[in-house]
Amino acid sequence: MKIEGVPFGVTDWAAVPETVHAGATGVARWRTVQAGNVRIRMVTYSPGYLADHWCARGHVLLVLDGVLVTEVQGGATHTLRAGTSYQVSDDVAPHRSSTETGARLFIVD
Whichever domain contains 77, its CATH number is 2.60.120.10
pLDDT at 3 (0 to 100): 86
pLDDT at 66 (0 to 100): 98
d(CA 96, CA 27): 14
Global pTM reads 0.92
pLDDT at 54 (0 to 100): 96
Residue 102 domain flag: yes
Indicate the pairing of strand 59-72 with strand 103-108: antiparallel
Residue range of the domain that includes 76: 37-108
- All residue ranges of the chain with pLDDT < 70 are none
Burial of 24 (0-12, 13-18, 19+ CB in 10 A): exposed
Number of domains in the chain: 1
Buried b (16+ CB within 10 A) or exposed e, 30-46: bbeeeeeeeebbbbbbb
Residue 3 domain flag: no
pLDDT at 32 (0 to 100): 98
pLDDT at 2 (0 to 100): 80
pLDDT at 62 (0 to 100): 98
Neighbours of 49 (CB within 10 A): 26
- Show the beta-strand stretches assigned E in 1-109: 18-22, 27-35, 38-45, 49-50, 59-72, 77-81, 85-88, 95-99, 103-108
pLDDT at 15 (0 to 100): 98
pLDDT at 92 (0 to 100): 92
pLDDT at 4 (0 to 100): 87
